[in-house]
């Protein structure tokens, strides 16, 4: 499974790691919905760190569609919320 961290690149992850990552991901969603900025930052950091640790980075020249996408480490709660609104990531 290919996971993209926006602004960083892509990593290849074994499906076996998904359960562990899912917990953090669900936690992140809950914190985003409740507006817990501090918790959001902490969980996002943990999730990104886990993806980097468990995944093998893909070369920059590799052109593979990402199955999962994560916000960049600098992304704020409001930015991510905006990205997930109806307009999606790309305007238009």
Residues that bind other proteins (CB under 8 A): 3-4, 18, 21-22, 25-26, 28-29, 32, 47, 63, 65-71, 80, 83-84, 88-92
Q: Which C-beta is closer to other proteins: that of 26 or that of 41?
A: 26
Q: Which C-beta is closer to other proteins: that of 56 or that of 63?
A: 63
Min CB(89)–other proteins separation in Å: 5
Sheet bearing 9-12, strands edge to edge: 56-57, 9-12, 2-5, 68-70
Interatomic CA distance for residues 1 and 3, integer angstroms: 6
Residue 44, Cβ density class (10 Å: 0-12 exposed, 13-18 middle, ≥19 buried): buried
Min CB(3)–other proteins separation in Å: 7
Q: Which C-beta is closer to other proteins: that of 22 or that of 76?
A: 22
Secondary structure class of 87 (helix, strand, coil)? coil
């Amino acid at each position: 499974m290919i996971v993209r961290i926006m602004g960083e690149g892509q990593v290849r992850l074994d499906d076996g790691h998904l359960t562990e990552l899912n917990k953090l991901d669900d936690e992140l969603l809950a914190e985003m919905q409740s507006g817990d900025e501090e918790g959001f930052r902490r969980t996002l950091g943990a999730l990104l760190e886990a993806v980097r640790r468990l995944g093998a980075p893909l070369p920059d020249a590799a052109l593979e569609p990402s199955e999962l996408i994560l916000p960049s480490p600098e992304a704020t709660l409001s930015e991510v919320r905006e990205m997930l609104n109806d307009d999606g990531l790309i305007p238009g």
